[in-house]
Structure 1
Amino acid sequence: MKKLLIALPMLVLAGCSSQEVITMKDSSVQLNDLRDLDYDGVIEAREQCSETLSGALVNNDGCPSDKTVQQSFRLDVKFANDSSELRPSNYAKLEQLADFLNDQKEATVTIEGHASKVGNPDYNLALSQHRADAVAKALVNDFGIDASRVEAIGYGDTVPLIDEESEYAHDVNRRVMATLSGSYSTTDMRWTIFTAN
């Protein structure tokens, strides 16, 4: 049996050796470029958008899909009692907001000034407007944000975060908040096992 297993491949090879080997004279011509130079899964023959962002979700032509993203930014700047002067520590927060606005060119921001319930309501309304104006001016003058994208509104003491008469509540309520609205378009990315959301 062992001899038969060794002899069988030799018989198969011997049987093939008597046949003539025919070499093709002409090679077939490749009509289309089947490479994928930007690694998006679309061959060059169909590619209409070269240099696609790596990992982008693409259509059959290799063009990326866009999606609209809504974003928001929270700004919370505190003020001393009876003051509309920005503290130096607030500029780091304003810089983050300015960076966000520079990234999102279509976005606009509403700066909301607030006051504590200490004092006259009419005075507090004016004070809260001065606080909102101070933040808006800093965004425009110090960070180069176009004034048409910034609105400042004072609410006085009408929208407290903590509605009570305590020193802590007064401190928390002396603030400027920012509401940013807008959206931007970005490349839709393919889902992978590393996708977070």
Structure 2
Amino acid sequence: MARPYQRTDYARLRAEDRRRLLYRMFFVFAASFILVSTPLMEGASPWWMVLLGVVPALTLIPVAYFYAHDTLIERERAKESAIRGGKKVLGMPPQRDCFAKALNECRARGKPMIDRYLVGFELETGRPLWVNDDDMCGHLCVFAKTGMGKTLWVESLMFQQMARGRASGCTFIDAKRDSGTLAHIILMALLTGRIED
């Protein structure tokens, strides 16, 4: 039975978060203003007035954080979109330094190479998705629409495997009969010194 897929509109979710934060801020400001303007506060200590001024100011912190975070994300999305030739970036931009971090982690553990494979990035956080050798030593079949990047994704896994210099192999079947794919694989084998394999 097929998995039930759910489409998530992240732009709508961000707009709802923004609206919720602004409503909360306006509610606290209005409540503080109404409380200060009532006769109950006529004989109140000045410290109460200070407190009633601090509470609305504290509601500005999450709003400022949200807008600053949103601005930084949009700036990173614009950079990533430029790298991708103007294509739209969904979710968070990927953490492009993941290979350097993974290599440093493995070297700190005494391993000379990365002990896992990058298969993609999380949509919500941009963090890398890694799989280990056991997960890679099996069968893989990728289904998606034309132009979604299936061939490039499998080529990236093959390149990571070739770069390790291990004796394991793979069988790659791609029905689109593109000679460019074969050229990519030959180039990867040349770059990694695996052309004789």
With structure 2 as the length reference, what TM-score do the two structures score?
0.23
Structure in which a larger fraction of residues adopt strand: 1
More helix by share: 2
For the pair shown, which has the larger CA radius of gyration, 1 or 2? Answer: 1
* Bigger relative CO (Cα 8 Å, ≥ 6 apart): 1
